[in-house]
A and B are shown apart, each in its own frame.
Chain A
């Protein structure tokens, strides 16, 4: 079955950097748009960034543009999120999610059909 497993979270000081990873299995990884979504403690969900299967298309939320970079290595079935210049408000559980693909047509504008368990990032001095 489809599995997404995040790692790389931890405690980092304001202004610091962190790289999150998400390994996918149970599906043809290179075909799918993937996304990062976060959830601050006790709060709702915030979409952060998309990346297409070929890495040709990407789009990110204004709240992270210029600080966070999404990338992937399809040979390793891995998605990454490089987070720089971290702020206290970036403290959250970060989820990796797959965008549904229908009949071989994969597009960014579709629902998230599978989620990982998340990895916690805490930004604090």
Chain B
């Protein structure tokens, strides 16, 4: 099983500031990586797939980068609706796994 590790567990950021979230895979997954956002009481929402492609309707302030084992999600200027938990997930094989999540909270 490929283990996905996200850091930090919690990120305190002020509105308007930049947030950088990391995700590491225990073995290479190519670009087969997705990012999701989950707000309390809601189901996850797809943000990024293919490591760097924004899903339909996702604002340009969200960007993804990386390949292999190291990935980054950047939110260029945090809006109030962006404070939530973010998960990375690989789909490189038949057993997808998720990272433990990064909670982005208001500083």
A44 with B87: CB separation less than 8 A: yes
Tell me which of A44, A100, A108, A116 contacts B94 (CB under 8 A).
A108
Q: Which of A45-53, A71-79, A84-92 has 4 or more CB atoms under 8 Å from chain B?
A: A45-53
In the complex, whether B91 has a CB less than 8 A from a CB of chain A is yes
The answer for the CA separation of A108 and B93 in the assembled complex, in Å, is: 8
In the complex, whether A125 has a CB less than 8 A from a CB of chain B is no
B18: chain A residues at CB < 8 Å are: none
Tell me which of B42, B46, B99, B101 contacts A111 (CB under 8 A).
B46
Tell me which of B45, B55, B93 contacts A109 (CB under 8 A).
B93
B34: chain A residues at CB < 8 Å are: 111-112
Which secondary structure characterizes the binding site on chain B? loop
A95 with B94: CB separation less than 8 A: no
Closest Cβ of chain B: how far from A75's Cβ, in Å?
A: 26
Which chain B residue shows the least CB distance to A60? B95
In the complex, whether B96 has a CB less than 8 A from a CB of chain A is yes
The answer for the CA separation of A111 and B34 in the assembled complex, in Å, is: 7
Interface size classification for chain B:
20 to 34
The answer for the CA separation of A109 and B45 in the assembled complex, in Å, is: 18
B89: chain A residues at CB < 8 Å are: 45, 111-112
A44 with B95: CB separation less than 8 A: no
A59 with B94: CB separation less than 8 A: yes
A112 with B100: CB separation less than 8 A: no
Closest Cβ of chain B: how far from A122's Cβ, in Å?
A: 17
Q: Mark A35-69, 1 if CB is under 8 A from B, else 0.
A: 00000000011110010000000010100000000
Which of B45, B87, B91, B98 has the most CB atoms of chain A within a 10 A radius of its CB?
B91
A100: chain B residues at CB < 8 Å are: 49
Chain A residues with a Cβ under 8 A of chain B: 44-47, 50, 59, 61, 95, 100, 108-118
